[in-house]
Chains A and B, each alone.
Chain A
Amino acid sequence: MPVLTLQRSYKYIMYATKQPSLRIKQADLKCKSGCGFYGNADWEGYCSQCYRNHMDVERQKKSHNSQMPDQSRAQMSGFTKFEEKKRQQTDKKNKYLKSLPVFRKSSNVKDSGRPEKYIDIMRQANPDANKLMVEFITQYSQYGDIVKKDFFKCSQAFSNKVINELEVKPIEDLAETAQNYYNLYQNRVNSNSIYEDVPSEIREKLVEFFEKYTMIILYSFLFCPPTTNDEEKDLAIQNRIRKLSWVNAHHLDCCISETSIEVRDLVYTAINDLLGMDSMKAPLEKLACVVKCCRSVVEVLQHCQGGPVSADEFLPALIFVVLKANPARLKSNILYVTRFCKDSRLMQGEAGYYFTNLCCAVSFIENLTAESLNNMPEQEFEAYMSGELTCVSAWESALVACEGMHQLCEHLAFLKELSERTQIVQNTTQSLRDDMQKLKEGICDSVESVLERTPLIIKPRINPLTLTKEQLFTQTTQYGPQIETTNEVNTCTDTDIGQNYYLQNLSLTQINALDSTKNKLQLDITPCITLPEISKALNSNDFLSSSSAVDNKSIESITPDDNSYLGLSKVNYDIDFSDLSTENSVAEDLTPEKRKSPTPSFVIGDPFSPIGGSCPIAQTPLVPSSVFPQIESKNDGFVLPFLDDTEENVEDSLLDKVEVAPSASLPAPLVPTSSEYSGFSKQGSRIPNIPCSTGDFSSLNFAGNSNM
């Protein structure tokens, strides 16, 4: 019974071929024959014992029925398969082995595949075996020739037996034969007197060496033998993995970060180790590759999650690596190791553990469904598998992402540089600001020091204020003519506060005073105008016309051409009227709106300045005279219509442009018109006929209308 158990045992590893139902049913596992042991699909549902009995029966039947044993059938199909395998082998070599760090020349040692020739070829043309022989001699010759002889005798016996049975027995039987011989030799080493002197560690090594040596000799016969469908399985799993190329670490709930360069290097190392398995011959060596690969995987995981790794994370990562590696002849390799590696090695120890994991990974890939990939929707899974959906595989996208990361890094570096430069700019700005602050303080200090030295500057401001209010008129009377001239300058320069202030006060605050005076003026003036001598008026007119273009109307009205008292009286009357209306705002007339009406009054007032002597009030001539220059300038501005249009606060601009504006030219065109003048009343209707239609005339027109 123990024998049967054992025979069955080492197959388990491979035959988890059922669909991954979540629960394993007892019935699924049992042998078809009902013997109570577990069966599996590869044995047609039998357990190993029943399968073998079954096969024996079949074989006997066949040999009875036809004299052709199935040996020949195997041989025939074997040849074609050999050719196919050879092709595939070389293809894969070209594809993979170049990149392998552990490439070992596994030349197509003995592909001639004729049992009769096997032994000869085995002897002569296996460089690996020869190399091992040399190695054995150098390592173990110290234990005497007898050990060496026995070793080669045993290995020879083993290989001969296997080769003899190669075409006769199924591969499973050969595997058992191999296991038997391993154990035979081990027992021999441990019990036979030949090996008495050999220490126990060396004995163990000898056993290992026996396995290695014999398997290297027999590799070409036992690896992917033509009697099996291993090769079809290889192709199937290869296609399967190709189809699954879109599966990424995320699908497997695996924490491999595919974008990290270091991780990718480690994953590539693991992949290389796994690919290296195919180039090894002895099961022991293949196992070593698996262990190496798995250690790399562990390292990857450790790198990714920064801590210890458990099997929960290990298996998905290994599956990922297998998917990305798509190792050549994966299935053949696994089957070969399963069959011909010493049984105990696969069940125990680190190598066994990792190999078990690899088998699990392969089994998972074979039976992978939508359900096993994070419960991916069935349709999506089908779409991926059929190639409808060709998402960029994670691995490729990782490369793209790496490129992106690379650019990102470059940009970050650039930004860093920029920020550094900005920092420099900010620093210099700060220093500049400090300098400015210092400069400002320095200036303030110096200003203060200057102010301290000359503290009286402020006082003069206050004194003139009081003075001007009280002595405003006295000043003006005394310096009347002078003010006329200085005002222009002063208003522009704005320095002499006293006089300027006087003007402002005059316009704004002294209105009441002016009102009173003007009211007096009016009272005084009206009689003056109604009763004037014509000669005086004429004189004054002469003076006005010659001095400046005061007001066309007034000029015209007073022109000597009319020579009618009526006209004069009318004019005078108008003047009085306008005077009354605008008397309040002497200064307001500075604004263009107010120019219309007030001007005549001052023009009229003006003629009285020479009459000042005759006029009982001494102050009256002064007010108009002081304002006169402004009026004059206004009129100049008046001539230019655009000034009215553009400037609202004409005061400053007008004053500025006093000098610019040509004033002398105005009277000339007006003189001819005055000759046509037929009367003031007609003027309004006539004005449009005047060729030079300045704004002044329109205003006059308006004034005339208002007067009418």
Chain B
Amino acid sequence: MSAGPYNYSYIFKYIIIGDMGVGKSCLLHQFTEKKFMADCPHTIGVEFGTRIIEVSGQKIKLQIWDTAGQERFRAVTRSYYRGAAGALMVYDITRRSTYNHLSSWLTDTRNLTNPSTVIFLIGNKCDLEGQRDVTYEEASKFAEENGLMFVEASAKTGDNVEEAFLETAKKIYQSIQDGRLDLNAAESGVQHKPSQPGRNPLSNDQQANKDNCAC
């Protein structure tokens, strides 16, 4: 609901995916509240969060959807992916199994989002160096092979969390600038601010141009 004063130019929709317990919610919370989730017990649900950031002088509102990571919900959570401009794929560097599942998460993401969706790989819990189960090099190689951006972060300390979200936004913005991402497609996960409806009046009739989704 883009009601209210438009002090931003774009809305990007992010989804955070990954196995259960890798710290998806914590990352989201760290990014939106700049606090570690466990430190603020009175926080209400963090499954949905927003924050306005600035990229290249443009204010962008990030809407982040947390998703359930349980294997048994995988089949039904496809609707989460719809219209996501960015997907943060999270694994836990201290648990090898969460890394091993990445390929299936990637498959889902590729299948259910549009090609311009930016996928960012995050190795969470990098503060727990002592318990590391997945090396940086290995994950880095995986990211390179699949054309993903990659960073190791810690939701607890906040290391690299901001960077991950911002880099994703930059990449998306870049895509917009390059014209690779069609702003008018609802699935792009990007909404332009309505004060600049820009193109097209309605082209009546059944060719209903909702491409003008300048909503």
Interface residues of A (CB under 8 A from B): 2-3, 5-6, 9-10, 12-14, 16, 18-24, 26, 29, 176-177, 179-180, 183-184, 186-187, 190-191, 200-201, 204-205, 208, 253, 295, 298-299, 301-302, 306-312, 314-316, 342-345, 347-351, 353-354, 356-357, 359-361, 363-364, 367, 371-372
Indicate if the CB atoms of A187 and B75 lie closer than 8 Å: no
Chain A contact residues, majority secondary structure = helix
Judge whether A364 and B111 touch: CB under 8 Å: no
The answer to whether B24 and A312 touch across the interface, beta carbons within 8 angstroms, is: yes
Closest to B17 in A: A311
Given contacts A13-B82, A363-B76, contact A200 B195 (CB under 8 A): yes
- Asked if B1 and A183 make an inter-chain contact with CB atoms under 8 angstroms apart, the answer reads no
Closest to A26 in B: B111
Q: Indicate whether B108 reaches chain A with its CB closer than 8 angstroms.
A: yes
- Known contacts A2-B184, A16-B78, A348-B83; is-contact A200 B6 (Cβ 8 Å): yes
> How many Å from the CB of A51 to the closest CB on chain B?
15
CB distance from B200 to the nearest CB of A (A): 9
Chain A residues with CB below 8 A from B24, complex form: 310-312
Per-residue CB contact flags for chain B residues 1-38 toward chain A (1 = under 8 Å, else 0) read 11111100001010000001100111001000000011
Q: Bound state CA distance, A311 and B213, in angstroms?
A: 29
CB of B146 within 8 A of chain A? no
Given contacts A22-B75, A344-B213, contact A309 B80 (CB under 8 A): no
Task: Select from chain A the residue with minimum beta-carbon distance to B74.
Answer: A22
Say whether A201 contacts B38, CB under 8 Å. no
- The distance from the CB of A8 to the nearest CB of chain B, in whole angstroms, is 8
Which B residues are in CB contact (< 8 Å) with A351?
1
Q: Which residue on chain B has the smallest CB distance to residue A313?
A: B68
Q: Which residues of A contact B75 (CB under 8 A)?
A: 16, 18-22, 24, 363, 367
From A5, A312, A345, A364, give the contact of B187 (CB < 8 A).
A5
Interface residues of B (CB under 8 A from A): 1-6, 11, 13, 20-21, 24-26, 29, 37-38, 40-41, 43-48, 63, 65-80, 82-83, 104, 107-108, 111-112, 114, 182, 184-187, 189, 191, 194-195, 197, 201-202, 206-215
The contact sample of 7 A-B pairs, CB cut-off 8 A, is A187-B197, A187-B212, A308-B40, A347-B189, A348-B2, A348-B11, A349-B2
Assembly CA distance A301 to B46 (angstroms): 12
Contact A183 B208 (CB under 8 A): yes
Q: Which residues of B contact A176 (CB under 8 A)?
A: 206, 208
Q: Which of B21, B111, B212 is in CB contact (< 8 Å) with A312?
A: B21
Known contacts: A16-B78, A18-B75, A347-B82. The answer to whether A307 contacts B41 by CB under 8 A is: yes
Q: With A184-B202, A308-B25, A367-B75 given, is the CB distance from A348 to B191 under 8 Å?
A: yes
7 more CB-based (< 8 A) A-B contacts, given A3-B207, A310-B46, A356-B79: A24-B108, A309-B47, A311-B65, A343-B186, A343-B210, A353-B65, A356-B82
Q: How far does the alpha carbon of A264 sit from the alpha carbon of B12 in the complex, in Å?
A: 37
| Total A-B Cβ pairs within 8 A | 218
Smallest beta-carbon distance A680→chain B, Å: 113
Q: Are B5 and A201 in contact (CB under 8 A)?
A: yes
> CA A314 – CA B70 in complex, angstroms?
11
Q: Which residues of B contact A21 (CB under 8 A)?
A: 75
A348 to B48, CA, bound (A): 10
Q: Identify which of A306, A310, A349 gathers the most chain B CB atoms within 10 Å of its CB.
A: A310
Q: A200-B195, A307-B38, A349-B1 are in contact. Are A372 and B184 (CB under 8 A)?
A: no
Min CB gap A162→B, angstroms: 13
Chain B nearest Cβ from A170, distance in angstroms: 13
B209 CB contact (under 8 Å) in A3, A16, A19, A177: A3
Task: Evaluate whether A200 and B208 lie within 8 angstroms (CB atoms) in the complex, with A22-B74, A360-B80 already known.
Answer: no
CB contact under 8 A between A183 and B46, given known A204-B3, A311-B25:
no
CA distance A177 to B204 in the complex (A): 10
Are the C-beta atoms of A180 and B210 separated by less than 8 Å?
yes
- Residues of B close to A343: CB separation below 8 A: 186, 210, 213
Q: Which residue of A lies closest to B72 (CB)?
A: A372
Closest residue of B by beta carbon distance from A356: B79
Bound together, the chains give a CA A464 to CA B121 distance in angstroms of 111
A309 and B45 form a contact (CB under 8 A): yes
CA separation between A665 and B71, bound complex, in Å?
111
Closest to A4 in B: B185
Distance in angstroms from A9 CB to nearest chain B CB is 5
- Known interface pairs A183-B213, A312-B20. Does A191 touch B197 (Cβ–Cβ under 8 Å)? yes
Q: B3 — nearest CB in chain A belongs to which residue?
A: A204
| Contact of A201 with B3 at beta-carbon distance under 8 Å, contacts A20-B76, A253-B70 already known | yes
For residue A248, give the distance in angstroms from its CB to the closest CB of chain B: 16
Pair B44/A302 contact, Cβ less than 8 Å? yes
Q: CA of A298 to CA of B82 in the docked complex: distance in angstroms?
A: 23
Tell me which residues across on chain A come within 8 A of B78, comparing CB atoms: 12, 16, 24
